[in-house]
Chain A
Amino acid sequence: MSNELISLTVDGVEVQVPAGSTVLQACESIGVEIPTLCTDPRLDPYGACRMCVVEIQPGPPRPMASCTMQAAPGMNVVTDSKSIKDIRKHVIELQLQHHPLDCPYCDQAGTCELQDETFAQEIHQSPYETVPKAHPEEILNEVILINHNRCILCGRCVRICDEQIGVYALDFVHRAIGTFIAPAQHKEMDCERCGMCIETCPVGALLSRPFKHAARSWQTDKTASTCPHCSVGCSLLVESRHGDVVRTRTNGLEEPANGILCAKGFFGHSYVNSDDRLTKPLIRRDGRLEPATWREAISHVSGALRGVIDRNGPGAVGAVGSPNCTNEDNYALQRFTRQVVGSNNVYSQSSGFHETFHALASVLGSRAVLRSQSELLESDVILVVGADIGQTHNVVGAHIKRAVRRNGRRLLTATRLAGTLDQYAAASVRVRPGGEAALLAALAGRDDLPESVTGASDTALQTMRDALAAAGSVAVVWDTGVWTLGRTEELAAAAASLTQAFADVRLFPLAERANTVGTLLTGMAPDMLPGLRPVTDPEALAEIEAATGAATPQDAGPSLADFLAGDARALYVMGEDLIGSAGDPDSMREQLADLDLLIVQDIFMSPTAEVADVVLPGASFAEKGGHFTNFEGRRGALAPAIIPVGDARPDWEIIARLAAAVGNDFGWRSHEPITAELERLWRMPDIEGSEPIADLNGALSQANGSEGFTLATEQHLYTAGVTGRHAPSLALMLPDAVAELNPADAEVLGVADGDAISVASHAGALNLKSLVASRVPRGVVNLPDRFLDAPPRRLDPAGPNGTPVQVTKR
C-alpha cells in the first residue's frame, strides 16, 4: 500500500484514503458504519456475506460488496439508499431462514454479529418459512466443537486457520445448501488448538468446550493482561466472573501477538482456578506442613531469617527468583535480599537464555540480541535452528509462516524434528540432535564436519549457504529451551560466527518462559544489578541508592551451585521448582533438606515446596499487576482480573510485608510504586561486544555421531511447565509421557504405538510408552520435555539433547 492519498465521496462527504484501501475502509475511516459478517481485520477481504453492499457511481449498475472493492479516485459511494437497506435486511432474513433462534442457550449471544445485525435491521419476524437445520453438535477435538446449525458459512474459521495460523485444519465440504465446515480434506482434524476459529466465528457455530455454558459473554469482567506461558508475551483479554477466570481472548492487533494466540494462550488459563492451588501459608511443625495465618507465617519467616543472619551472617542467605513471576516480583525479591538481608546471593534459572545472552553480548554486544519481532519478520531469509519454533513459540512460528507466504521471505529450517514450518521452507534439513552448533558452523563456512555430525548433506548445506549469501538480511531463530542445556556457549559462538559469514545477520535466541528476559534485566543474578549492570559499578550503585534510599552490597555472590554446596543456610525460592528442574533431583533435594531454612513461595505444591520449612501461597498472573518482559525486551502489562484464591497474595506483597516485619518497610501498598522505582533503574542492556568469537574446533569435533539412537528433547506445543499440568484443558491435549520413534525404527525394534519401552543412557534409564511419529527422523528418539514423571535430564543431567541412548522393548 503506497502512501499516496486518493479522494472519493461517501454519502456526500469527501474522504481521503491511501491508495489500495477498500471502499469499506474508506467508509469506516469517516465513521460510516457498514454492517459486515465475513470481515475480520486479521483476514483478507472475502465477500461472502454480501452485507457490506454499497452503490457506486460511476460504476456497475448493481450493488457492489465494499469489502472487496478497491477505492478509486472520484468514486461516489452511497451506503444508505433504500435499495441498499432492503438488500441488507434481506440478507439477514435469508440467513435466519436456517439459523436457529436459540440465543438464550447460545454461548455467542451478546457478541453474536448475526444477532446484532438482526436487531440493527429491525427484523421481528421472518417473511419466509423457517427451516431450522437439526444436525447434532460435533466434537472436533478436546477443546473445539462445532454446531453446524448456527453456521452462516462466512468462512472466517477456514480463512484464519489458513491465513494467520498457516495450519489449514478446516475447510468447506459439499456444495450449495449442503455445505458445511469440517476438518480439511476429509481427514482427521490436524489442528494446533489455538482456538482462533472459535474467536473469529461471528455466530455460535464454533465453540470452546472448556468455556461452554460457563458464563454469558456480557457478564464477564474483561481485563487486559499478558500471557504467562512462553516468552512471546502476547497480550490477552482475561474474562472473569465471580472470581473465576472463564476464558482468555486476543486483545488488539498490536505486536507481538498481531491478533492471534496459541493453545496455551487461549486455553491455558484454567490453572488459575485449579483446586490444587496453594491457598494458605504452611509452616512445618513436627515434620508436617500445617496451615497457618499470614501473621504467623510472616513472623515465623522473619524470625527464622534473623536467626540465620545472626548466626551465619547475610552471606548464608540466598534467594531464587522466577521467570514465571513479574519484573516487580523479581525486583522486590532482589531488593529484599540485597538491602534487607545484605547479600548478593540472588539467582534465577533459565534453561539456556541467560548463558546465551551473555555469550552473545560479550562478542557482538547486547544490541545484537534483544531485537524486535518485526526485525525478524522483515529479514529476507529466516533460519530456524534446533527446536521447532512452531511448537515452542507457536505464535512466532505462525508469524513466520505468514511472512513467508505474504511477504516473500525465504524460510530455511534446520530443526531436529519435522514440523509445520517445513511446508513453508525453501530448504529444510533434519539436524542431528547435538549437532546444531556444528550445522551453524558448517553454514558459516566450515567444511570439515561430516553429515553424521550435522545431519545435513553437502548439497543441502550448499543450497542453504547460497540462500543465506543471496539474502540482504538473515534472521537466525532458535529456542533456548531445555535442548540447549550444556550447549549454549558453542551454539552462541556458532551463531555469532554466522554474523561474519553473511550480511546483516540478526540473532533471535527465544527465551523459554514468560519472564526469562525480565529476570535477567531485573538483576536476578549474584553479579548483576537491575538494568544488567555489574554489582561493582559505582555509578549503578549510586543510582540504586538514590532510587531506594538504601545501600547495596558490592561483593558479587557465588553461583547457585557453589552457594548451595558452600555456606548456604537459608534459601528463599519464589515461583521456581529447583528439584523438578534440576539435572540431579535427588542430590538437589538433599541439599535443600540440609538447609536450616527453606522458604518456598509458589502457586502449586511443587517437589521443592514439599521439603520447605515454610510455604507461602503466591498469586497467579491473573491475580496481580506488574509486567512480563518478552523475548524482544518489550514489557507487557498484567492487571489483576480476579481476587487471589484463598489466602494467596501477590508475590511482591509477601516480600514487602516480610521486609516490613524485619523492620525495613519499603512503603509498597500496590505494584505501581515498584513499577515506578524499577522504571528509574530499568534500561535495555548496553554491553559493547569486545571479545573475539570463540574457536569451536575442539567442541565440534566432539559432537556425537554415534551409530545407536540419539536423544532429542524439546518443549511440546501443549506443555507449559507446572502450570500446564494443573490446567485441565491443556492437560487434556498433552500426550502421556512418551518416547517418540520413527516408524522405520519402530518396525526394526518391533514396537507399536503404546508399547512399553526403555530408553537408557550412561547416566540412567527411563521407562516410557512409545509413540510412533513420522516427525522424528531415523536414529533419533524424542522425549518431549517437562514430564515431571520422566524428565529427559535423568538420561544426562548436563544436557540430554544429543546423548547416545539405547532403546529396548520391555
Chain B
Amino acid sequence: MPLGSGILKGFATVFKVGRRKPATVMYPENVRDIAYRFRGQVGMRRDEVTNGLTCVGCGLCETACPNDVIRVDTSENSDGTRAVDRYLFDVGRCVFCYFCIEACPVDALQRTHDFHLVTEDRRGLLIDGFKMIEIYEHDLENRPLQEQNIGPGTRPRLWFGDD
C-alpha cells in the first residue's frame, strides 16, 4: 500500500460522514421516539377496589429476579390475609430482564417505557410500589403506538395484561 493512502482514506471517511445528519439528539432538550417494544422501568398496576397495590405479596418476583432488585415485606392483615407492608424496587440494580413481570401471578407488575431514571442521589433509585403505580399510570397515557411493520424475523410479543 503506497505511503499516505491511509491518511487519504481517513480524510475521505470524515468528508463522507461529516455531511450526514447526526443520529444523536441533544438530550434532554430533545428526546428521540421510543419503540413500542422498548424495555423501560417496571411499573405496578393500581388495585381498583382498594386503590392500593395489586400485589398480593407472593414473593415470586423476588425469587425470579436475578439481581436482588425486589424486596417484598409481608405481614398478616387483621382478617388473616397477606398484607404487603412494603414493596421495594432498587432501580439501580435492575437489568430490565422482566422476569419479575413474567412471574407475577396477578399481573401486578407491568412494563413501561420510562427510562428517565436519573437522580442526584443513589437512594432516589430505591422506589416503592406506589411510585411504581405512578410510573405505570403515566406511561399508560404517554406510551408509543405499537408498530405495524416490524422487521423480518420478529413477531410482536404480547405481555400479560398489556393493552
One digit per residue, 1 when the CB lies within 8 angstroms of any chain A CB and 0 when it does not, for chain B 98-112 equals 000000011000000
Query: Which of A104, A109, A212, A242 interacts with B71 by CB under 8 Å?
Result: A242
- The residue in chain B whose Cβ has the minimal distance to the Cβ of A105 is B82
CB B96 to nearest CB in A, in angstroms, measures 23
CB A693 to nearest CB in B, in angstroms, measures 58
A683 at the interface (CB under 8 A from B): no
* Contact call A104/B63, Cβ cutoff below 8 A: no
* Contact call B106/A105, Cβ cutoff below 8 A: no
B56 at the interface (CB under 8 A from A): yes
* Contact call B74/A104, Cβ cutoff below 8 A: no
Interface of A is mostly: loop
* Contact call A216/B58, Cβ cutoff below 8 A: yes
Provide the bound-state CA to CA distance between A215 and B73, in Å: 8
Query: Which of B71, B75, B81 interacts with A105 by CB under 8 Å?
Result: B81
One digit per residue, 1 when the CB lies within 8 angstroms of any chain B CB and 0 when it does not, for chain A 187-219 equals 000000000000000000000000011111011
Query: In the complex, which residues of chain A have a beta carbon less than 8 angstroms from the beta carbon of B56?
Result: 104-105
One digit per residue, 1 when the CB lies within 8 angstroms of any chain A CB and 0 when it does not, for chain B 62-78 equals 11000000010011100
- The number of residues on chain A lying at the interface, defined by a beta carbon within 8 Å of a beta carbon of chain B, is 14
Provide the bound-state CA to CA distance between A104 and B84, in Å: 13
One digit per residue, 1 when the CB lies within 8 angstroms of any chain A CB and 0 when it does not, for chain B 29-62 equals 0000000000000000000000000001111101
* Contact call A213/B82, Cβ cutoff below 8 A: yes
- The residue in chain A whose Cβ has the minimal distance to the Cβ of B74 is A213
Query: In the complex, which residues of chain A have a beta carbon less than 8 angstroms from the beta carbon of B105?
Result: 104
B126 at the interface (CB under 8 A from A): no
Provide the bound-state CA to CA distance between A212 and B74, in Å: 9
B80 at the interface (CB under 8 A from A): yes
* Contact call A219/B59, Cβ cutoff below 8 A: yes
- The residue in chain B whose Cβ has the minimal distance to the Cβ of A216 is B59
B94 at the interface (CB under 8 A from A): no
Provide the bound-state CA to CA distance between A216 and B63, in Å: 10
Query: In the complex, which residues of chain B have a beta carbon less than 8 angstroms from the beta carbon of A145?
Result: 80
- The residue in chain B whose Cβ has the minimal distance to the Cβ of A242 is B71
One digit per residue, 1 when the CB lies within 8 angstroms of any chain B CB and 0 when it does not, for chain A 251-281 equals 0000000000000000000000000000000
* Contact call A137/B80, Cβ cutoff below 8 A: yes
Within 8 A of B (CB), among A79-133: 103-105, 109
One digit per residue, 1 when the CB lies within 8 angstroms of any chain B CB and 0 when it does not, for chain A 355-383 equals 00000000000000000000000000000
CB B160 to nearest CB in A, in angstroms, measures 15
* Contact call A214/B74, Cβ cutoff below 8 A: yes
* Contact call A213/B71, Cβ cutoff below 8 A: no
Within 8 A of B (CB), among A209-262: 212-216, 218-219, 242
Provide the bound-state CA to CA distance between A690 and B28, in Å: 93
B91 at the interface (CB under 8 A from A): no
CB B82 to nearest CB in A, in angstroms, measures 4
B127 at the interface (CB under 8 A from A): no
Provide the bound-state CA to CA distance between A213 and B83, in Å: 8
Within 8 A of B (CB), among A127-179: 137, 145
- The residue in chain A whose Cβ has the minimal distance to the Cβ of B104 is A104
Query: In the complex, which residues of chain B have a beta carbon less than 8 angstroms from the beta carbon of A216?
Result: 58-59, 63
Instruction: Kindly state the interface size class of chain B when it binds its partner.
Output: 10 to 19
CB A515 to nearest CB in B, in angstroms, measures 34
Within 8 A of A (CB), among B88-130: 105-106
Query: In the complex, which residues of chain B have a beta carbon less than 8 angstroms from the beta carbon of A212?
Result: 76, 80
* Contact call B62/A219, Cβ cutoff below 8 A: yes
* Contact call A105/B83, Cβ cutoff below 8 A: no
Provide the bound-state CA to CA distance between A105 and B80, in Å: 11
* Contact call A104/B58, Cβ cutoff below 8 A: yes
Q: Evaluate whether A214 and B71 lie within 8 angstroms (CB atoms) in the complex, with A104-B106, A105-B58, A219-B63 already known.
A: no
Provide the bound-state CA to CA distance between A212 and B58, in Å: 12
Provide the bound-state CA to CA distance between A213 and B57, in Å: 9
CB B76 to nearest CB in A, in angstroms, measures 5
* Contact call B62/A213, Cβ cutoff below 8 A: no
Query: In the complex, which residues of chain A have a beta carbon less than 8 angstroms from the beta carbon of B74?
Result: 213-215
CB B53 to nearest CB in A, in angstroms, measures 14
CB A149 to nearest CB in B, in angstroms, measures 12
CB A215 to nearest CB in B, in angstroms, measures 8
Best-surrounded residue of B80, B83, B105 (most CB of chain A within 10 A): B80
Query: In the complex, which residues of chain B have a beta carbon less than 8 angstroms from the beta carbon of A104?
Result: 56, 58, 60, 105-106
Provide the bound-state CA to CA distance between A109 and B60, in Å: 11
- The residue in chain B whose Cβ has the minimal distance to the Cβ of A212 is B76
Query: In the complex, which residues of chain B have a beta carbon less than 8 angstroms from the beta carbon of A218?
Result: 63
- The residue in chain A whose Cβ has the minimal distance to the Cβ of B73 is A242
Provide the bound-state CA to CA distance between A320 and B50, in Å: 57
* Contact call A213/B75, Cβ cutoff below 8 A: yes
Query: In the complex, which residues of chain B have a beta carbon less than 8 angstroms from the beta carbon of A109?
Result: 58
Query: In the complex, which residues of chain A have a beta carbon less than 8 angstroms from the beta carbon of B82?
Result: 105, 213
Query: In the complex, which residues of chain A have a beta carbon less than 8 angstroms from the beta carbon of B71?
Result: 242
Provide the bound-state CA to CA distance between A145 and B62, in Å: 27
Query: In the complex, which residues of chain A have a beta carbon less than 8 angstroms from the beta carbon of B80?
Result: 137, 145, 212
* Contact call B62/A214, Cβ cutoff below 8 A: no
- The residue in chain B whose Cβ has the minimal distance to the Cβ of A219 is B59
Provide the bound-state CA to CA distance between A213 and B59, in Å: 11
Query: In the complex, which residues of chain A have a beta carbon less than 8 angstroms from the beta carbon of B81?
Result: 105
CB B60 to nearest CB in A, in angstroms, measures 7
- The residue in chain B whose Cβ has the minimal distance to the Cβ of A137 is B80
- The residue in chain A whose Cβ has the minimal distance to the Cβ of B75 is A213
Provide the bound-state CA to CA distance between A212 and B56, in Å: 14
Query: In the complex, which residues of chain B have a beta carbon less than 8 angstroms from the beta carbon of A242?
Result: 71
Query: In the complex, which residues of chain B have a beta carbon less than 8 angstroms from the beta carbon of A213?
Result: 57, 74-76, 82-83
Provide the bound-state CA to CA distance between A667 and B136, in Å: 56
* Contact call B75/A214, Cβ cutoff below 8 A: yes
Query: In the complex, which residues of chain A have a beta carbon less than 8 angstroms from the beta carbon of B76?
Result: 212-213
- The residue in chain A whose Cβ has the minimal distance to the Cβ of B106 is A104
- The residue in chain B whose Cβ has the minimal distance to the Cβ of A107 is B82
Query: In the complex, which residues of chain A have a beta carbon less than 8 angstroms from the beta carbon of B59?
Result: 215-216, 219
Provide the bound-state CA to CA distance between A195 and B8, in Å: 84
Provide the bound-state CA to CA distance between A766 and B76, in Å: 40
Provide the bound-state CA to CA distance between A303 and B74, in Å: 47
CB A119 to nearest CB in B, in angstroms, measures 15
- The residue in chain A whose Cβ has the minimal distance to the Cβ of B82 is A213
Mark A residues whose CB is within 8 Å of B: 103-105, 109, 137, 145, 212-216, 218-219, 242
16 A–B contacts, CB within 8 A, in A order:
A103-B58, A104-B56, A104-B60, A104-B106, A105-B56, A105-B57, A105-B82, A137-B80, A145-B80, A213-B83, A214-B75, A215-B59, A215-B74, A216-B59, A218-B63, A242-B71
Q: Which 10 A-B pairs have the closest CB atoms?
A: A104-B58, A216-B59, A213-B82, A213-B74, A213-B76, A104-B105, A212-B76, A137-B80, A105-B82, A104-B56
Mark B residues whose CB is within 8 Å of A: 56-60, 62-63, 71, 74-76, 80-83, 105-106
Q: A213-B82, A216-B59, A218-B63 are in contact. List 16 more A-B contacts (CB 8 A).
A: A104-B56, A104-B60, A104-B105, A105-B56, A105-B57, A105-B81, A137-B80, A213-B57, A213-B74, A213-B75, A213-B83, A214-B75, A215-B74, A216-B63, A219-B62, A242-B71
